Structure 1
């Protein structure tokens, strides 16, 4: 049996379950607290690329532009590890950790990825970066399940 994929919208989950939306927004706000907004958007964009969430990619690339993330970074964030020194040490550590959380291997997040992130961030910041990656993955999966499409502009 072959799975078929439709781009047709499904359940309007945030209308049928507004408490879900409220809880996710509260989690998003808590996760973003004390994280540089530009770094937060890069985390959200990278996870959304991996998860193929067009709605979140549209939203977070627009948000990133509004707060001054460079077009060059947005152009190459999917290949950040090949971009030389375009991304600084903290961005690289956060993006590697985001990828490891988003695509969990059989043993979870590799020690070297975690250790690099732990060296780049304080304990509080590391917790926030982990929470941001987890939260955007939850948003991506909700939107993928119900086929939330980006708005036409």
Structure 2
């Protein structure tokens, strides 16, 4: 596949990278941050972001078992703990917005596990990866591309 365009304003790129970095720092759990980004990228069919964040997840020590079962996390039993499941449920709800909103139960469960500060960073991370996914998919940036 050939990219439609690789142009992205440097200020836009830097701003999105800064938001993502701040959200990850604030979340304070690098492995969970990568699980969230991989799951959103799966849902959005973003090969570029999947390739990138799967590699980072492995470097952060996320287990191959978690990565293998991420697409079926709800059925994966104890592979994901309650905090991870809450984050993944929120990621799916924010990414897909099937009902037009994030269900109260999903939001409240995430808030219970993350508190106000952690939840704010988790939401910023989810929003940022969704922005990146949409930029990459729309421009058709292929996995592994060095020009984006």
Partner of 1:79: 72
In the alignment, structure 1 residue 27 sits paired with structure 2 residue 15: no
Rg (Cα) greater in structure: 1
In the alignment, structure 1 residue 122 sits paired with structure 2 residue 115: yes
| Cα distance in 1 for residues equivalent to 2:101 and 2:142 | 30
In the alignment, structure 1 residue 43 sits paired with structure 2 residue 36: yes
1:59-98 equivalences under 5 Å are 59-98=52-91
TM (norm. structure 2) is 0.93
| SS of match in other structure, 1:46 | helix
Per-residue deviation, 1:91: 0.3
Q: Which runs of 5+ in 1 are unaligned?
A: 1-6
In the alignment, structure 1 residue 54 sits paired with structure 2 residue 47: yes
Partner of 2:7: 13
Q: Residues 22-71 of structure 1: CA distance to partner in whole angstroms, max 9, x if unpaired?
A: 11111111211222000000000000000000000000000000111000
Per-residue deviation, 1:150: 1.4
Runs of 4+ in 1 over 2 A off after TM superposition: none
Partner of 1:4: none
Partner of 2:106: 113
User: How large is the Cα RMSD of the aligned pairs?
Assistant: 1.1
Aligned partner (choices 124, 134, 150) of residue 143 of structure 2:
150
Per-residue deviation, 1:135: 0.4
